[in-house]
Amino acid sequence: MKVSKGATRMTQFKRFGVISKVLIKHGLGDIVERISDRATKKLKTPKKGKGFGGGLISPTRIRLVLEELGPSFIKLGQLMSTRADIFPPEYIEEFKKLQDRVPPVLFEDIQQIIEEELKRPLNEIFAMINPESIAAASVAQVHFAKLFTGETVAVKVIRPGIRKKIREDIALMYYFSNKIEKSFEIGSLIGTTNLVEEFERMVHKELDMYVEAGSIERFANNFKDIDEIYIPKVYWNYTTKSVLVMEHIEGIKIDQVEVLSAHGIDPKEIAMIGLRAFCRQLMEVGFFHADPHPANTIVMYDGRVSLIDFGITDYLDEETMLQLANLLLGLSEHDYDMVMEGLLETGMINAETMDLKSFRMDLKDMCEPFFGRSLQTISVKDVYEQAIALVFKYHIKVPRNLLLLSKTFIQTESLGKILDSDASLLEVARPYAENLLKQGYDARKVLKNIGKDTLYMGKFMKMMPKLFYDALKHLAKGRPQVEIWHTGFQEIDEKIAKSLNRLTVGMVISASVIAAALVLNSAQKVIEFKLNLLGLKTISITAILGLTGYTIATVLGIWLIFVIFKSGKL
């Protein structure tokens, strides 16, 4: 077993022992045997099994193992719940049950982190801070506090020792994933090592409060002109890598429908605000909140909606936004040619490797039954599961951000149902998609692209002198020369040569006719001969030359006309 940086061999050995015991406890001892170094030494060529222990493991067992192993593995399971492209539906449903059920850290430890990060005593930072946490998760916990200015804030603090713990667990995850891929065929199919790499990228973002603070600021800027959405303020003077201080939002959790109604707030309108905000994120700004569950969404008492947790966000580039708009608009108009074109542009389907006709029919059969129905009569989850079935059937590769987006679609739909919304997601999305496609090729974007191309050209031109100098230096030293070979131009050369020859002959004919006419019409006679032929008594040299020119011109003209007629290109 390799030893990772920041973790001693003894620590990893103990943790490996704990993981092995948990696996054996839940009836997965075969996995420990197959991936342990001892088992590998016994088998010179380890036999690959199709599944774990000769078959697929119960998804409940996997969930129980991940829960018992703690925060790092729980978060890995939460990531796995978004990968419906590699896990069957029953596993996805089980992984979704994984929650960060962890007890809060003692306030003394939280106080120590805050004081170390902000370099001063706690009583000089906050006028008041509640020792009891208002939210506790695997990575961080949140406390209510007041600044000396009177503003109420939420203080989010990274749990002590969690970074080291996650580093050690990630090292073991890599160890186990490599062994599983070598020992089990299903490990190779899933790509367990790639899954761990994806988890490592995701969790390191959550461990940096500067990243989350930056996401909040970006959302605030994106929605600054939207009155129905409110994004909390970040207090940068109190924010560090381990501490995030943001405005505390007073309000009602979005799933408390009766409380909303009691305050005169229409739940259906709140659902529409959420749908519009979601569409704006996807098709106007390309930056979306990927975890809009009820605990992260607060309805303020004035009817505005506020997002309060930005630990999981993701991006869509302009090209993906346009492709997504094409897909949504194509679906809303039952235009499957447009949908197929959008899928081809994303690269998810390939005309050379799959039966597009069959796929188009299956896609239409899946989508048609859901048209014209509201959120109350349609389940995005059902659509999602059917879509994933197509993904498996046609071996479609779905980009990671679109998988995360599909999870967000389901969460948004579930919130709409809780709020008793009768809205149609496609109808809400349609004007945003139409507007995006209209603006997709407007003058500003064209100028922007020209600007980018100009920048690249400038960089290229800046490199040209050095590249030219290097090429000359290599040539001077007798190093291999650059040779350019071209093919397919021979026929063009022959056609050009023939055309030039015909043009030349035509010019010679014209010149001969003109010269002969001038000579015959000339009054000057050069050396006359006396003849008694065809009634002629005398003929001059000039007349002979003129007649010869006419004869040559006539012969060449007849030949040229014949050649042109023969080629069929008159």
Catalytic residue list: 291
Map 391-403 to HEC letters: HHHCCCCCCHHHH
Helix (H) and strand (E) counts in the chain? 23, 13
The tokens describing 275, both together, are: 């749908």
DSSP-based three-state secondary structure for 203:
helix
**What pairs with residue 142 in β-bridges?**
135, 156
Residues near 399 by beta carbon (within 8 Å), at least 6 away in sequence: 320, 346, 348
Q: Buried b vs exposed e over 106-126: b needs ≥16 C-beta within 10 Å?
A: ebeebbebbbebbeeeeeebb
Backbone φ, ψ for residue 307 (5° rounding): -95, 140
Distance CA 158, CA 368 (A): 47
Q: Half-sphere exposure of residue 57, counting CA atoms within 13 Å on the CB side?
A: 22
DSSP annotation string for 166-179: HHHHHHHHHHHHHH
Sequence length of the chain is 570
Residues near 280 by beta carbon (within 8 Å), at least 6 away in sequence: 222, 223, 226, 432
- How far does CA 452 lie from the centroid of its chain? 20
What are the Cα distances from residue 521, in Å, to 528, 530, 546, 548?
15, 20, 9, 14
Distance CA 453, CA 457 (A): 6
CA angle 510, 515, 517 (to 5 degrees): 100
What are the Cα distances from residue 82, in Å, to 77, 198, 253, 409?
9, 12, 24, 12
Segment holding 140, helix H or strand E: strand 140-146
> Rounded to 10 degrees, what is the CA torsion of 456, 459, 460, 466?
-170
Residues near 420 by beta carbon (within 8 Å), at least 6 away in sequence: 257, 267, 268, 271, 376
